[in-house]
Structure 1
């Protein structure tokens, strides 16, 4: 789909030009964040997350975990800071970061030391863990199933974000607690990363006791008001899934090698194709977007997901409900004991919850976030980002994400540990 978007954009956006705020962004980078972003865009686009973290001299651990249904997950850990709080300490507060649809743990390090959320939290004194959901670039292995394309391997891809929340997260969380010795942790999720947290704690409410706080950045659950253009294909979700599965297509945007190759060869600032790459990543809202980093972002994102993850969101859009995946009636009966899927019981999500959202987000519309917040029993904060134009990708790539959001996140979580 992203290839199609790129080709289509070439035809309709040939007149794309430099961001009207590019000079301002460059001034910000020179004055405040000099030397903190990538010092070699192409090199960093080609590195994986462990390579990036170690390149910038942060401690890095790679943990491999297996779910109850055989998926092998890769989790990345930055146990302490590089410049501050830079000694191992078993008493550090723990935080788990989970990425959104099509993404990976790379979301939290691409902005580089001083700006990437994982680095900021490590310097603030946190033991930082970054998960990777089944099916993305880092978590494509399985004990018995093959994730490669083709009709014979469709079974690997028969999962949605329901399984990510219900089966992936418990394994990750239990491993973190066992490894660190800390009985509870903080959780930050962007978009689908928040969806899966809600799935986990509604289906397995005993996990509520394992969290200190939940920070939902641009959470995706209800889609009553969202006007995001791609949602227009939602009514076709059942037909598309059945048709694509029949021809052996079950993975979406999973060819990271292609996107990395395209990024490092074509997505350069100031070129026509580079401007089109920018428009895809910044949502046609170029304010506060650092177009110099576009090859780096495209080098790591998209990281792949299952067609069923997208289908499940399509069902949420169609029904305007937050409920479990809807299969054919006989399989629904097998899974849920009823011919239609039940809604997630949000009353069971009792973790102290903070919503971080914005007026400029067309994917997670602020009214849908507020609708979700009204249905949770323990909402501590509804925190609108100050900049009105802050969009869905600014939560992970915005040049001012540190000032608008990340520093506040660290402060809120540290507030739980002042007396320790």
Structure 2
């Protein structure tokens, strides 16, 4: 469809749409709370929904259609692999037929902080635990913590003390 209609940017960021979303959420906050709950957070009550309208004015932000296809490929295959162009085109892109290559997470050698949310629907606890288990022997994991937050909560939680206490501390190291 994207090629047929030459539409490659899904939900492009537009000022009018951002203002409309912010106004809508200002009036119908309960609907925006449900939207955050459906897509990102298991418990939006931990979020400051006065800031939620600001968050939703950029959510979901514009992205290329291939990003969404790639996310679906990863979820459906259960493999953290590069974009799948199909058997024949994978040969052109990656030099191999069949499945695209996995990302080589063992190549990560820099100090890494893993911060997850116990209420996050997009990067859930299992994903963060899997990443930790995958890189812990090759990358120095300097910090690893799961907060009682959802995906949006990292930007709009009522209690943002974790940021000052942990993230600012890490950045100052």
Deviation at 1:291, TM superposition (A): 2.2
Deviation at 1:342, TM superposition (A): 0.8
Tell me the matched-pair count: 166
Distance 1:406 1:262 in 2: 32
1:267 aligned counterpart, secondary structure: helix
Structure 1 runs, 4 residues or longer, greater than 6 Å off: none
For the pair shown, which has the larger CA radius of gyration, 1 or 2?
1
TM-score (norm 1): 0.37
**Superposition map of 1:178-327 within 5 A:** 243-268=1-26, 271=27, 273-281=28-36, 283=41, 285-327=43-85
2:114 aligned counterpart, secondary structure: strand
Deviation at 1:255, TM superposition (A): 4.2
8 Å Cα contact 2:51/2:156 also seen in 1: no
Distance 1:321 1:304 in 2: 25
Q: Relative contact order, CA 8 A, sep 6+: which one is greater?
A: 2
Matched residue, 2:142: 380
Distance 1:382 1:296 in 2: 28
- Structure 2 gaps, min length 5: none
Distance 1:384 1:361 in 2: 10
Deviation at 1:264, TM superposition (A): 4.2
Distance 1:319 1:355 in 2: 24
1:332 aligned counterpart, secondary structure: helix
Distance 1:284 1:381 in 2: 24
Change over 3 Å in CA distance of 1:300–1:313 after alignment to 2: closer
Distance 2:57 2:29 in 1: 13
Deviation at 1:310, TM superposition (A): 1.0
Deviation at 1:364, TM superposition (A): 1.2
- Relative to its length, the structure with more helix (as a share) is 2
